[in-house]
Structure 1
Amino acid sequence: MKNVQPKPHSASARSCTKVHKKGIALGRSVDLTKFSGYDELIAKLDQLLEFGGELTSPKKDWLIVYTDNEGDMMLVGDDPWPEFCAMACKMYIYPKEEIQKMTPGTLS
């Protein structure tokens, strides 16, 4: 006998989103509902993953991308915040030059 609870159909249905930094085996999880926008999220990722201000600097050497439920990869910040929160499955932080090498279609 299965006791299945229905999942809410809102952006907060997934409480945490996994974040991986290139070169680090362990990822971190962040709860997107705790942030009001991209600036807060990026500042928290900078602190959590010990970037020392590199993620928030105007001359960034790292970029944050995310995958959606279809596996498409997009840059963080390209979509309105509520849409991003509803779509983001995982986030990845890569060196800028690595993002630039990705083939068209890999990064929308």
Structure 2
Amino acid sequence: SAETAKALLSQFPTAPNYPQADGSVKLAAGWLIDQCQLKGMQIGGAAVHRQQALVLINEDNAKSEDVVQLAHHVRQKVGEKFNVWLEPEVRFIGASGEVSAVETIS
């Protein structure tokens, strides 16, 4: 929300942000993840890229559960620190088709 962004920007004035026409503010997810020191974080075979916090990689034969657990961990850490709940831009495909990415990692 605009209120959450305003509170965050009062604490972190250099945080990248993008005001929207509807009054909302988009925050840079990569910056939020980086501030939580999650680059290189690994669960099973899935990891947060060491140079690009927005990218989850298959470091070592990751299973789908590893990716889901890592995405959940990243979302939780950012939410706890900033009260901002990231929404994945990727599509999650389950055994019977597309599933809600937010519900899957919540």
How does the TM-score come out when normalised to structure 1?
0.28
> What is the TM-score of this pair, normalised by structure 2?
0.29
More helix by share: 2
Q: Which has the higher contact order (CA 8 A, sep 6+)?
A: 1
